[in-house]
Structure 1
């Protein structure tokens, strides 16, 4: 039987709840203990104390106390709700949902429990459950717009567009007076309804709706873009022409608008004269614009291209636009255009091409030629450094000429560093990039570039020192801790790859797991937006975010880190002695017994030295254990990654990275190849063969396939025990088909 509180203690319990809500955790613990001294088995108080303890970082103790609270009062919705909140904090969403459901059975009218349940269902993409929860919340409080919007989103994301539109329409019909024009939430909801109509395929009705409500929408650009898109897709060319013309007048640098306008006008792609006329008309209207001058270079050919390119290149080189080469290098996919550009710019550099007039002759006499000359040399350095036109000797020659004219140009030195990199001299590349950084020490971009080149040269400490110039260095771990907090994925990835090259597998795994955890954080961070976006009314952005989160793991950085981590675990499996650190020899297999022991002893000694240094740093940090806001700084229990590298089953840990990689990026040849390596080593022949087949479908001519197929056959022949009959039948059948495909290839 649950214990009852006196009126005085009931008032004190309400204070405990307020202390928790106001994040006054120490006061909340003190008040809860005061109640429990008199009523030690009061479940609700124990539950609230457990919840406060979890927010103080005492998660294990909180779970123990929460379970005790449930034993004391199984019929308390507070106890079940808190139990669910603890599971939610522990990221165990399935168990949290179960606890919330128990709490709702006891207290079906509780809005906080219903809300928490709905948020978790959205996080888990349980759309049927989310629809049910949102319907219940709407019935309980139909006067709140958020409940209507949330239900519409639930139907929309579950694929029921008709019902989603119906919910939004029903709410609009309940409004007695039209909302004011300043009501952003209403404006967004109306546009959201319009996107639902368009997604259903009824563009005519979507356009009619947009025209009827567009004058009351605050996002004018969105209305213009949607209307133009609908008109184009409906084939209403005259109106679409006017709509895209208005958009270009608003933003003459948006190439998407020009592409749509060309489609509206129905000009064939091979009618270059008509296409050029359209862009020339916009050059006349917007003489300072870049897009209508640059886009024709994509479709013009021969002399027409040469003339347009000449005009464009001279204009941009005179202005000294550093991004000129980046803007036109896509043209190099066409060798003839690449050669024309090279001929033109080489002509500018040598004086063999007549320069077009650019104002008074006084400007030319007063140093404008020198400025033009430096920009030309810089362009040619990038041109000959580019992989489609590479000549590193000429690239070096031209970049040196540019630097001689403008010795304090950061961009010129950066290009020289890139040339050193392509020549294979990473030391010189890092040194030159550092010289560029010193020319502008307040620029974060060049600072990051210098650090990146130092990491490529395996100068990890120098890179971190550079990065520390733009971090606060107040967190545990100093600059590296700040980079973790800022989720600086590129740095952690490059740092990990550097340690992998050095065969410092512990630190490599530490960095790769850090990036993996950042992706987990991005996955979990959406939780707050399920309620925040509804409060702010930013519905379209929220739906886009949910869809982006659904394909989060196909991000290029995740693929890169996952591949690196899998390679590290395979190396650790194949050379387990690397757990002690890099071995000062090409391979332990090349050493005799005594030398092998000596190498291992040296590696262990170096590992102990690093651990001792880290322990001294940790002791030094204890004196300054609190951050600026008074909270205790969290120590990393494994800063060197020793626990990660000491895994008993490296291949099993590799599957943590491999599974999402194969699920979200199945067209990556290297991912499938590494999947084969992991599964073959684990003796899982069916998934190994599937990875091999997938790799064949991606790149049938890759020579690695033949080698892997031979190893697969050898592994089958040397099995200590034969495969089960059914597995053997599947493997042999698919193996025969794959072998015949590879023979044909």
Structure 2
């Protein structure tokens, strides 16, 4: 039991709780201190004070006080509850759950503790424990619908559909009168019950239940969508077709409805006999609505030959005559089919060569429309020749220059010109051109954002931040960059990090990639409030969708991109620890005198940076401190340069924070498997490395990394300093057979690699050749000169791309080639890609 307090102090304690709940932390601390003056060992007051201190950002002090409170009153449920809240605040959920359970032993009827425990169990996906907690909450307050729904959700998430449905049915049976027709919570609950029935596999019963509730349900669209889905699953296609037509009457632009209607009518796009019927179907919908785009665009996906040409001509003329800027983005997916790409190109070139561009198939447009049509055609062709599947940058530049000559102040035209320079490889001209486009419309956030992105691609970090500052709250803590962090602007953080990575500023690059990973953690944390909020608001189906989305949150492309870059940087830190000292060169390979000189220079630079940082902090402290909406002072970043991230003693272990979710949630990303192999091999985990190698081989057995990693794994096993544990060795012997264990010498592996080179030399695959040369170097560093010569020869291959040539330059840097070799490679590459800035001398 909690320690008793006199009436005056009891009243003060209630005030402390009230002040904490209303976020009046200063008043709460003052009241708590008043109690502790007279009762210095009162556990509950110490616990509440710890909670307030934690909310103010004094975590260490809060934990110390929380432990002291427990020491003073081990039998207080308040102390244990607060201790659990403290652990929860630092995301140590296991310890928090333990503390909550201790609190419940003391006060088993406490609804607050039960609720907090249940929410945390759902957060960590302990569904069995969640069911138990929800059952107790329901037993205590069965009159609340949300408690019944909460228990049903617990059973549903645990996969017990029958029990989940039973809970909802039981509650409905307890109702003395039918809910109002406008009761949104009831409407959602019965539709949620319907989805549970469907997920259990009983589609027929789900449809019957839906028929019963559909008239009274408020979400008409969801009801119709479920009805169409169930009818299609039950092969009642005639009824399904009627339902999809009803849905299309509500929204005639939604492709999913058209796909469902096609299935309901047994129309197969791959069957030539179905094509006329499909064409007639879409003509029917197009004739009903003059503004309908989907019914006119979708047929272009399945029509072929002359039928496609006629439909494409009508569609393109219609869009180009109206001057729709998104015409090309809307049809570029068709370019995957070479025949369709050629037809579209011929059509649009035909429009451009017409003596009188009348802008319509009937030829009745007036002069103004004709001019608009002509501009639209030229704009389409500029994008067409910029696109990767139809790229001809000279033609693209010709068309866009004609347009800019007619309208030099067009933001869109200048943006396309910048894109052309980007594909040429001239990042400087691309950045300058899009900055000119930005200056043409300073109120356009989109072009401002594009400009910042191009500046980052040109490694102009400060200039990009200044550009972004035009649309950020610059008075916030941290200025424009701080606001971009607050807004979780991940594209900017990624581009900024990659720019720093190209400049070998590893600290700031890691800082940005870690910030992206932190945003995903915030998203994961954000679901916590919805465990209770969604129940209160009755939005159950959306809540279930959110929970399932959270379970594969880190398969998002932004996380994957940040993870790949961060892992590469941590591997570089592991391979070259001197990088943590701020050096971009390998100090270990320098002569003692040169190393001492280099370290001295680095030390001076670091002192200069620290002084500048101290001056900046002093200037920032002189200004008014920014506060949040609750009046709480926001923390300033104590490691703005990422120096603490560089100081890690175990870079590979830190890299696992990025690698583990990457391999679990994006297993089909072959570059992730490649990096996983490299990390695990460095960690001395050959079985895990083999697992990554086998996964990559299943995804693409011809991928260059598969060959290299197989050779390197065999080389690693051939040169072990200590024998592997027997079970590991046996497993590797059984699972890893290529290259065979008989290739037990470096020369045997070099022979295999030479055969690989010969195979791909004839095919001219630059990526495979580059990988083979890198493998040869890693097997024997003495082959560096030969590898450099062979790599230089790849620039003569017709198939080599700008990106592959840039990758070759990075290989030379990785091999620590001298300046003469690098300059020779740059000069030869620059002769082939004259304007590409990547080959400019550093």
CA contact (8 A) 2:434 2:454 kept: yes
CA contact (8 A) 2:253 2:293 kept: yes
Q: Which segment is superposed worse, 713-722 or 299-308?
A: 713-722
Instruction: Within 5 Å, give how 1:120-269 maps onto structure 2.
Output: 120-269=120-269
Q: Which segment is superposed worse, 623-632 or 138-147?
A: 623-632
How far did residue 734 of structure 1 move?
2.6
**Deviations, residues 533-568 of structure 1 (Å, cap 9, x unaligned):** 111111000000000000011111111111100111
For 1:336, the equivalent position in structure 2 comes to 339
**Deviations, residues 51-73 of structure 1 (Å, cap 9, x unaligned):** 11111211111111111111111
How far did residue 181 of structure 1 move?
1.9
Q: Distance in 2 between matches of 1:352 and 1:576?
A: 68
Q: Which segment is superposed worse, 684-693 or 485-494?
A: 684-693
Q: 1:44 to 1:589 in 2, by over 3 A?
A: closer
Q: Distance in 2 between matches of 1:671 and 1:695?
A: 9
SS at match of 1:388: helix
Q: 1:738 to 1:115 in 2, by over 3 A?
A: farther
For 2:765, the equivalent position in structure 1 comes to none
Instruction: Within 5 Å, give how 1:225-624 maps onto structure 2.
Output: 225-269=225-269, 270=272, 271-351=274-354, 357=360, 361=364, 363-365=365-367, 367-581=368-582, 583=584, 598-624=597-623
How far did residue 698 of structure 1 move?
1.6
Give structure 1 stretches of 5+ with no counterpart: none
TM-score w.r.t. the length of structure 1 is 0.96
Q: Distance in 2 between matches of 1:590 and 1:96?
A: 49
Q: Which segment is superposed worse, 264-273 or 383-392?
A: 264-273
Q: Distance in 2 between matches of 1:594 and 1:348?
A: 71
For 1:733, the equivalent position in structure 2 comes to 734
Q: Distance in 2 between matches of 1:505 and 1:2?
A: 53
How big is the alpha-carbon RMSD for the aligned residues of Structure 1 and Structure 2? 2.2
Q: Distance in 2 between matches of 1:732 and 1:331?
A: 48
How far did residue 647 of structure 1 move?
1.5
For 1:719, the equivalent position in structure 2 comes to 720
How far did residue 364 of structure 1 move?
2.5
**Deviations, residues 589-628 of structure 1 (Å, cap 9, x unaligned):** 8976655555554444333333322221111111225225
Q: Distance in 2 between matches of 1:172 and 1:709?
A: 62
Q: Which segment is superposed worse, 471-480 or 456-465?
A: 471-480
> How many residues in Structure 1 have an aligned counterpart in Structure 2?
741
How far did residue 356 of structure 1 move?
6.4
**Deviations, residues 85-133 of structure 1 (Å, cap 9, x unaligned):** 1111121111111111111111111110110110000001000100011
Q: Distance in 2 between matches of 1:445 and 1:15?
A: 50
CA contact (8 A) 2:318 2:360 kept: no
Q: Which segment is superposed worse, 636-645 or 689-698?
A: 689-698
Q: 1:396 to 1:356 in 2, by over 3 A?
A: closer
TM-score w.r.t. the length of structure 2 is 0.85
For 2:806, the equivalent position in structure 1 comes to none
Q: Distance in 2 between matches of 1:341 and 1:31?
A: 76
Q: Which segment is superposed worse, 261-270 or 671-680?
A: 261-270
Q: 1:620 to 1:216 in 2, by over 3 A?
A: same
Q: Distance in 2 between matches of 1:692 and 1:225?
A: 43
CA contact (8 A) 1:348 1:355 kept: no
Q: Which segment is superposed worse, 138-147 or 1-10?
A: 1-10
Q: Distance in 2 between matches of 1:215 and 1:67?
A: 58
Q: Which segment is superposed worse, 625-634 or 112-121?
A: 625-634
**Deviations, residues 627-683 of structure 1 (Å, cap 9, x unaligned):** 255432311111100010122222222122111111111121111111111122222
SS at match of 2:180: coil
Q: 1:501 to 1:356 in 2, by over 3 A?
A: closer
Q: Distance in 2 between matches of 1:254 and 1:127?
A: 36
SS at match of 1:216: coil
How far did residue 711 of structure 1 move?
2.4
How far did residue 272 of structure 1 move?
1.4
SS at match of 2:388: coil
**Deviations, residues 288-317 of structure 1 (Å, cap 9, x unaligned):** 111111111111111111011001001101
